[in-house]
Amino acid sequence: MKPKVFAAFVGPSIFMMLLFIAFPLVSVFWNSFVVTQPVYETVEVENCTAGFLEQTCTTEMETRPVLDESGEIRRQTEFVGFQTYQNVLEMGRFWEAVKDRSWTALQNIDFWKALRFTLMFTLVTLPLVLGVGLAIALVINNASQKIKGPVIFLSLLPFIITPVIGALSINWLFRGDGILTAFLEWWLEQDLALFAQAWTIELMMMFYRVWHVAPFAAIVFYAGLQTVNQDSLESAVIDGASRWQRLRLIVIPHLAPLLIFVAMIHLMDTYRVFEEVVGFRAEGYVISLQWLTYDFLTPDQAGNRSISRASASAMLTMIGIAILLVPLLKRTWRDHKGSH
């Protein structure tokens, strides 16, 4: 391919990646090291009240924002280095909680509370998504041709639903007098309050994530099952291998690259969990790193947003994703080198 033709094909993609990925990432990185805040001034203000014979005047000092020529609040940007990261991590309170061995004190720090839930949510749902996805793929693969189409359609339904809508639906089913809550109360013969404690909310959020994402894994694995060497499977059957042995020794090793691929996608997506926290309205009990970033960006009563803290939280989230991906990337690199 000629260089000009190659540039014509690749150029638009590179431009869009720079515009929507690289430049915003550089901006977030820079904003995590600077603080932009309004400029205030303290002025002397005289307040007078009407009296019977004469006015009564008092003088007091008042702090107010400085306005520029256009009437907008003047702001200044100051480089603070890693101070913003220290404010987000709150390492002083963290080490005090560690020294006192106080789990409650540690969970009172927003970042570490969010990190605990995000890690647990990611690492618990990962094997469940892989296992349930593989099970669905095997069911589809072994289904007869007459019902294979409907089985695939029904399997994909949870993945088609918009994440926030799906989370809200599960919320409505289990909250208060929801249908499933009413059924469970009738079956167990006792009142249930599934949204009154953090652990039940976390279980429902994990259940929803697996229900929503497992169909994606299933379709990927089903495609991989179509390329399994049938001669190897037939030889294993002749040698007396059980169904489980064929799955463990032939099918799963063949699907290993796809397992790693789905695991990487799941880790990157789940570590940025946000829809479940919003859909389940769980921020009073459970928060995630992505929700913490959103909370920093929410304007306060004065209309100010903590851009620097939000940027630092976003950078820490990306660092966490990179750390989780290292083992899978190492495995992929070893497999790539071994194939050459």
Per-domain residue ranges of the chain: 115-338
- Take residue 339 and report the two structure tokens written for it: 């194939």
- Residue listed under structure tokens 């290292």: 326
Q: Three-state DSSP class for 46? A: strand
- Residue listed under structure tokens 């959103």: 294
Per-residue pLDDT of the chain (340 residues; tens, 9 = 90+): 677 777 888 888 888 888 888 898 899 999 999 988 777 777 777 777 776 667 677 777 777 777 777 777 777 888 888 999 999 999 999 999 999 888 888 888 999 999 999 999 999 999 999 999 999 999 998 888 888 888 888 888 888 887 888 888 888 888 777 788 888 888 887 887 777 788 888 998 999 999 999 999 999 999 999 988 888 888 888 888 888 888 888 889 889 999 999 999 999 999 989 988 888 888 888 899 999 999 998 887 766 788 899 999 999 999 999 999 998 888 888 876 766 5
For position 51, what pLDDT does the model report? 64
Task: Give me the architecture of the 115-338 domain, per CATH.
Answer: Orthogonal Bundle (1.10)
User: For the whole model, what pTM was predicted?
Assistant: 0.82
CA distances from 146 to 63, 79, 140, 223 (A): 76, 66, 11, 19
- Short-list 271, 286, 266, 283, CA closest to 317: 271
311 burial type by CB count under 10 A (0-12 exposed, 13-18 middle, 19+ buried): buried
